[in-house]
Amino acid sequence: DWQQLQGDLERIDRNQYGAYKQLLGSYNHIQPKFTLSIDYVQGDPYASPSRVRAVMPWSETNLPDEYFQSDARKIAVCDFVTRVAADFIRTKHLDQSLGGSGGGWSGPKGGAFNINACGQEVLPRTSALISNNDTIELRFTTTLPAAGRTILGEQAWQILGVNLVELVQKALLHANLDQQKLQQHVLSVERQRGLREQLASHGLIAFVANGSILPRSSGASSRPMDNAVPFQSPKESEVTLKLPNGSTVQGMGIPKGITLLTGGGFHGKSTVLEALELGVYDHVPGDGRELIVTDPTAVKIRAEDGRSVTKTDISPFISNLPGGKDTRSFSTDDASGSTSMASSIQEALEAGCTTLLIDEDSSATNLLVRDQRMQALIKKEPIMPLISKAKALHTQHGVSTIIVVGGLGDWLTVADNVIAMDAYTPHNITTNAAAIVSQYPSVVHQDEKYGSLPLRKFQVNLSGLRSPFAPRKDFINLRPQAKDPVSNPAEAESGIDLSALDQVVEVGQARMIATLLSKVAEQTAMSHLDLSALLKALDGAVGTEMCLPAALGDGELVAVRRFELAAALSRLRGLVVTC
């Protein structure tokens, strides 16, 4: 059967590029046993690349069956083999471009093969999938070779018939994988999930193990910083959690309620918050944050002026806007700092968030506080700041807040837990802070009731738009098909800005959001769904914390949480909310 691939390539050699389409279908390789499935063939050499999958029976890999005994293990194994394949492709490509032996690894647009690149997080990805506990597959893209528009059959054989086999052997066979590293990868993910699961029973929303390395090597790299000061919990905050092997780990526990992260400028406050933001994900061994875990429903909130808002209830924070605008169903094309932040908080709560993560640096101050003098000076203030709502939010709805505060001392009056960063080392100053509050009292109004949580029903209409795609992790493109801005007002808008979503870490997640949005549009064109119903309609798999509909054919998608999908949806210009 593998000879048939060679035969087919010989037959179409020197033909017009379009004849590559004859390869669509599957070919069986015998030793090792796997099936090459050619799912999509590009129309010309510079079109988006062709998509192929190599599907191997699990028994053929010789990997232990215990690796598919839980979702966590399957995710870890698939993430690992994706990294092995990506590294192997990169090395081969580099080797060839340096004049090394063995051709066919470089293509006209860089590597002949491409597999979705991974960052520091271990995530469910469509680049590698275990199905029905009996196969494992790798998905990649490949650029089929041509001279002008003429098929180069022999080179294509080198790529698909020879190099791909080597790649599959390197990435999927037990004998070629670094068993110790693979085991570490799996254990590390199990450890993180185990820690995250213990949070609730200890009354915690986050845990940072002693010895963790929080800062990254630069603003442009998510690798750990060299020579960083390792994290060391204050004694008062230290908790002990269990590891799966029976041993224990100590670190700082952040309890439910309201926690302030404070301290002088440049002492490491934002770095702690950023580590907590990404503690909803598992990290690779060696990352430095692999024992930092956060409530999986924690959502980072920022001010984001200019964003679009559609019929969000922001009345807990804002009422009596000039012009009598109804804030129980607030819409705008161009939100202000405070209205954007109020909307983002309410939308996170709508999606089921139980921990808000906020940094004063990236907030609208007037949504966080209003001091006594401003209360006296401005009587017609439409904003009720978060400081007046955070306690009610916790007691009424069980939602905690972790907030970085450098300058807003009023927040001390509502804090249950105060951590001060001093030269990257945390101190628990809750008692001291209480003393300061009685020494310098201030009147901070507390609302008894938080107010309503929103629950919108959506209809998504993308007609007239090309199906959305994500060229970057912070942007989804929705370019219109038509070229007439008058008959198609959406023409003026080009996409969804995800740059305020700090918990989107890979472009594959943005692609996933784009893919899900087109599915949402398909499935809700006629109906009116609220968020939960909408997620359910997408796929059965969405009930879990991550959405990864395995049925999607693409190998470049990475799981996202419902929160990021909901946030993207809420930012869609032209979203229809029916009630």
Examine residue 271 and tell whether it contacts ligand ADP (CB under 6 A).
yes
Question: Residue 46 or residue 266: which is nearer to ligand ADP going by CB?
Answer: 266
Residues within window 92-131 making contact with ligand ADP, judged by CB under 6 A: none
Examine residue 228 and tell whether it contacts ligand ADP (CB under 6 A).
yes
Examine residue 46 and tell whether it contacts ligand ADP (CB under 6 A).
no
Examine residue 370 and tell whether it contacts ligand ADP (CB under 6 A).
no
The residue written with tokens 């201030």 in the block is: 442
Three-state DSSP class for residue 318:
strand
What are the residues facing 240 on neighbouring strands?
A: 250
Question: Residue 265 or residue 323: which is nearer to Mg ion going by CB?
Answer: 265
The answer to whether 178 and 271 are in contact (CB under 8 A) is: no
Of 52-60, 173-181, 353-361, 430-438: span binding Mg ion (CB under 5 A): 353-361
Residues within window 223-262 making contact with Mg ion, judged by CB under 5 A: none
CA distance 198 to 207: 10
Question: Residue 56 or residue 214: which is nearer to ligand ADP going by CB?
Answer: 214
339 φ, ψ to 5°? -70, -35
Binding-site partner at residue 388 among Mg ion, ligand ADP, none, CB < 5 to 8 Å by type: none
Of 266-274, 296-304, 325-333, 500-508: span binding ligand ADP (CB under 6 A): 266-274
**How near is the Cβ of 211 to ligand ADP at its closest, in Å?**
11
**How near is the Cβ of 314 to Mg ion at its closest, in Å?**
26
**How near is the Cβ of 388 to Mg ion at its closest, in Å?**
24
Which 8-state DSSP code applies to residue 221? Answer: E
Binding-site partner at residue 116 among Mg ion, ligand ADP, none, CB < 5 to 8 Å by type: none
Of 268, 316, 468, 508, which lies in the binding site for ligand ADP, with binding defined by CB under 6 A?
268
Retrieve residue 128's tokens.
């590698």
Strands of 313-399 (E only): list them: 330-332, 355-359
Examine residue 361 and tell whether it contacts Mg ion (CB under 5 A).
yes
Examine residue 20 and tell whether it contacts ligand ADP (CB under 6 A).
no
**How near is the Cβ of 274 to Mg ion at its closest, in Å?**
9
CA distance 171 to 85: 5
> What's the alpha-carbon Rg for the chain, to the nearest Å?
26
**How near is the Cβ of 265 to Mg ion at its closest, in Å?**
7
Residues within window 403-432 making contact with ligand ADP, judged by CB under 6 A: 421, 424
Q: Within 13 A of 472's CA, how many CA atoms are on the CB side?
A: 8
Of 100, 197, 266, 397, which lies in the binding site for ligand ADP, with binding defined by CB under 6 A?
266
**Amino acid identity of 72?**
A
Helix (H) and strand (E) counts for the chain? 15, 34
Question: Residue 418 or residue 421: which is nearer to ligand ADP going by CB?
Answer: 421
Examine residue 49 and tell whether it contacts ligand ADP (CB under 6 A).
no
CA distance 399 to 255: 12
CA distance 143 to 107: 7
The residue written with tokens 């192929």 in the block is: 52
Please name which of 398, 438, 399, 431 lies closest in space to residue 416, comparing C-alpha atoms: 431
Of 265, 322, 323, 540, which lies in the binding site for ligand ADP, with binding defined by CB under 6 A?
265
CA distance 363 to 195: 30
The answer to whether 479 and 462 are in contact (CB under 8 A) is: no
Cβ neighbors of 130 (< 8 A, separation 6 or more) are: 58, 68, 74, 77, 78, 136
Question: Residue 47 or residue 423: which is nearer to ligand ADP going by CB?
Answer: 423
Of 214, 349, 521, 557, which lies in the binding site for ligand ADP, with binding defined by CB under 6 A?
214
The answer to whether 371 and 442 are in contact (CB under 8 A) is: yes
**How near is the Cβ of 218 to ligand ADP at its closest, in Å?**
8
Of 270, 346, 417, 509, which lies in the binding site for Mg ion, with binding defined by CB under 5 A?
270
H-only helix segments in 98-202: 153-156, 164-172, 179-201
**How near is the Cβ of 107 to ligand ADP at its closest, in Å?**
38
Q: Going residue by residue from 131 to 170, which x/- string records binding to ligand ADP, judged by CB under 6 A?
A: ----------------------------------------
Three-state DSSP class for residue 216:
strand
Binding-site partner at residue 88 among ligand ADP, Mg ion, none, CB < 5 to 8 Å by type: none
Examine residue 267 and tell whether it contacts ligand ADP (CB under 6 A).
yes
Please name which of 147, 131, 146, 141 lies closest in space to residue 164, comparing C-alpha atoms: 141
* Residues making contact with Mg ion (CB under 5 A): 270, 361
* Residues making contact with ligand ADP (CB under 6 A): 214-215, 225, 228-229, 263, 265-271, 421, 424
